[in-house]
Chain A
Amino acid sequence: MQNKKTLFLLGLRDVIPLLIAAAPFGIVFGALAQANGLSVLATMGMSAFVFAGSSQFVAVTLIGVGAALPIIIVTVLIVNLRHMLYSISLMPRVGGLSLGLRTIMSFWLTDEAYATSSMKLQENPKMVNFHWHYLGAAVGMYINWQTCTGLGILLGQQIPDLTKWGLDIAMVVAFVGIVVPMLKNRAQWACATAAFFCALVTHDWPHQTGLLFSSLLAITVGVLLSKKTYLSTAPSGDADE
């Protein structure tokens, strides 16, 4: 069993490639928020208190087109619902932890921290003190996001065209680097293939609901295809119920 500090630092180290990939996003957010009329303080405040990348993007885009407040809030809710899937998937890992710890773990839940730690869990499913690894990755993400938002506010005033560069490619290739090594059997490949094509077909569904639908469909495909191996291991007494 590794100690807490080692795991925390390991999480911080493991998330570094994703910090680099997320940096352009934070910078573009800072610049875009300014361009769409959010004050400097509120831009920083949104990153500090909301801390949900895609939701923040959607919000400042909607501010830019003059959407009403309730519309923005509801859209943000829907866009961020995929994080609920992450939270559900972490349920078996957080039982027994204090409510305070779970609160901060939820607040810091992002695609990047989740991806980093679930990659670690795939390597070592029986890992103890998982949450320290996760917290290391999450703290790295939080500091990175605040720094990049600030940088974006500054850069956006210098380079008005910044928001038009195709900077989200960094996120695409980082996620490829996470997902592909996770694909080890037929069910996992089928799940990824289903998610990929379904997300393309449903891209024009409102408020990124296509993303959520595609994820659920792909998960179902994965479970159905792995059912046989799953049933054959169940009688070994490994199952919960």
Chain B
Amino acid sequence: MNEWVLILGMMLVTFIPRFLPMAMADRFRIPAILRKALEFVPIAVLTAIIAQASLIHNGEFDLSFANAYLYGLVAAFVTALITKHMFKTIVVGLVVYAIAFVIISKI
């Protein structure tokens, strides 16, 4: 397979969906109801990514106590609720994950 043909193809199919709506922004008046819906886009998409990345591993549910992601996720969630601060959330989430990871791998 030609690597550069692949890259060109990927470039087209990733760019076009990102570009078309923005390119047509002047031609469409966005109805108020859709505008309302768009406010929910970041919450919806990012939360869906969070759920799958932390609780699904190798195509399987991983809700066991041996899933270190679970501890990182809960710690990050609580920190974010209390502090509303992204950087503190990342630091606490990563530290708790690392501790959980080490403990779990030793059991």
Contact = CB atoms under 8 A, between A and B. Distances in A.
Contact of A196 (B14, B29, B47, B89): B47
A179 interface: yes
Interface residues of A, number: 96
Interface string B46-89: 11111111111001010000001100110011011100111111
Contact of A177 (B47, B49, B53, B89): B89
A240 B84 contact: no
A172 B73 contact: yes
Nearest to A204: B59
Interface in A15-34: 17, 20-21
Contacts of A203: 52, 56, 59, 61
Interface string A108-121: 01010011001100
Contact of B43 (A50, A51, A94, A183): A183
A23 to B, nearest CB: 12
B81 A87 contact: no
B15 A107 contact: yes
Given A91-B21, A214-B48, A188 B40 contact: yes
A181 B51 contact: no
A85 B77 CA distance: 25
Contacts, number: 292
A82 B47 CA distance: 13
Interface string B3-26: 111111111011101111111111
A172 B89 contact: no
Contacts of B68: 166, 169
Nearest to A80: B14
Interface in A66-83: 69, 72-74, 76-77, 80-83
What 6 pairs across the A-B complex have the smallest Cβ distances? A173-B93, A177-B89, A180-B80, A177-B86, A199-B48, A42-B3
21 contacts: A17-B90, A49-B7, A72-B10, A73-B6, A77-B13, A80-B13, A92-B30, A96-B26, A106-B23, A115-B46, A166-B68, A176-B76, A177-B87, A178-B46, A181-B86, A191-B40, A200-B61, A203-B59, A218-B43, A218-B48, A219-B37
Interface of A: 17, 20-21, 38-39, 42, 45-46, 49-52, 55-56, 59, 63, 69, 72-74, 76-77, 80-92, 94-96, 99, 102-103, 105-107, 109, 111, 114-115, 118-119, 166, 168-183, 187-188, 191-192, 194-200, 203-204, 210-211, 214-216, 218-220, 222-223, 226, 230, 234, 239-241
